[in-house]
Chain A
Amino acid sequence: MSTSQTTTTEHHPALAHQFDSMQQQQEASTFGMWVFLLTELMMFGGLFTAYLIYRIKYYQAFVAGSTSISVGWGFTNTLVLIGSSFTMAMAVWSAQLGRRKPQVWFLIGTMILGAAFLGIKSKEYYDKWDECHIPGHVIGKGFNAWGGCSANNPKLGNIAQEIIERAEKSHIEVSPVAAQQTAQQTEIFFSFYFAMTGLHAFHMIIGLGLLSWLLFRAWRGEFGPEYYTPVELGGLYWHFVDIVWIYLFPLLYLISRTRT
């Protein structure tokens, strides 16, 4: 802090005694939030690095697994999350100007879009559960991507069959044994899919908790031009979670769609 400005905000009730001014307090808080977000970046970054290594090693299986998840829902969810980032930015802007009503409505809008994202995500998870694509044998019916998931519908979740059909379209011969081996290897893709989208969804749930707390305080009219740091930091968190999804969408859903 080069020049500490003595203003009327000095006795603001939200000013902690270790800070000279509201501005200094806000800069320190924002900086601390960014340091926290960078630790989050390293946590997600570790998952992305592991993902890249396995994607290169088991590329065919990653293509097969990626093709089996719904690109339409993933695309919709990306738009939903980008929209929620916009409403969050608008909520911060309203808080900066001390406009209580738009602030409350933009926070509610952000929460609705966040909940919509989680709803669509649960629908996608349910589909994967239905298709026996949950890795391991603990949750659901046990991993099976080579037929035999459903007695009534032999094509349900049968990635091995899809590999053979796609290869036939490109006039390539794939033996059933090779197709089943690739289908078995998609278990590693789905492990990454659930670990990464699961950790992301967990952050969304925490974000919704933060937003309801911000909504309560905004509704009581606690934020204004002098003090809106909690909204600003909540916004930073929300945008960070949005950025993670901006990378998850192309990396998980769009690995190779050209031959489908």
Chain B
Amino acid sequence: MAEHKHPTPKLYAIILLCLVIGTVLTYRAAFWEMGIFNPVVALVIACTKATLVILFFMHIYYSSKLTKLTISAGLFWLLIMITMSLSDYLTRAFLPQ
């Protein structure tokens, strides 16, 4: 069982290449005028890079369902913290936009 869990150096190199491309892309994209989409593009690229690191460098792609579920729960909790805090602050009438 343990033998199937090992990604190969070739896969690691491909992930490294994707991460470098993502970094160059996010750097270049920051200088393009996209209005409201500038932070959106930056965060989409950051989330893609983080997902690649979690799935392959951190071996979650090969791990048990229990670990996958635990991490998903943690990420969901983080989203609750961010969305609920922001939906509070952004809808306060006295807070200037």
Residues of A within 8 A of B (CB): 5, 23, 27, 30-31, 34-35, 38, 41-42, 45-46, 48-49, 52-53, 56-57, 71, 75, 78-79, 82-83, 85-86, 88-90, 93, 96-97, 225, 232, 235-236, 239-240, 242-243, 246-247, 249-251, 254-258
Contacts and interface: CB of A to CB of B under 8 A. Distances in A.
A254 B33 contact: no
Nearest to A225: B2
Contacts of B95: 57
Contacts of A27: 64
Nearest to A75: B27
Nearest to A26: B2
A38 B23 contact: no
Given A53-B89, A78-B23, A243-B54, A93 B7 contact: yes
B78 A257 contact: no
A116 to B, nearest CB: 16
A71 B27 contact: yes
B53 A31 contact: no
Nearest 6 pairs of A and B residues by beta carbon: A38-B74, A254-B30, A250-B42, A86-B16, A257-B30, A82-B19
B67 A41 contact: no
A56 B45 CA distance: 21
Contacts of A240: 58
Interface residues of B, number: 53
Contacts, number: 129
Contact of A250 (B19, B45, B77): B45
Nearest to A97: B6
Given A93-B7, A240-B58, 12 more contacts: A31-B70, A38-B71, A41-B78, A42-B81, A45-B81, A85-B16, A85-B53, A250-B43, A250-B46, A254-B30, A257-B30, A258-B31
B61 to A, nearest CB: 13
Nearest to A242: B53
Contacts of B43: 250
A246 B63 CA distance: 23
Nearest to B5: A96
30 contacts: A5-B1, A31-B66, A35-B70, A38-B70, A38-B74, A38-B77, A42-B77, A45-B78, A46-B81, A49-B86, A52-B82, A56-B97, A78-B23, A79-B23, A82-B23, A85-B16, A86-B57, A89-B56, A93-B8, A93-B12, A96-B6, A236-B58, A242-B57, A249-B46, A250-B30, A250-B42, A250-B45, A251-B42, A254-B26, A254-B42
Contact of A48 (B1, B45, B63, B82): B82
A30 B86 CA distance: 33
B67 A30 contact: yes
B82 A45 contact: yes
Nearest to A237: B58
Contacts of B53: 85, 239, 242-243, 246
A223 B66 CA distance: 26
A93 B50 contact: no
Interface in B45-90: 45-46, 49-50, 53-54, 56-59, 63-64, 66-67, 70-71, 74-75, 77-78, 81-82, 85-86, 89-90
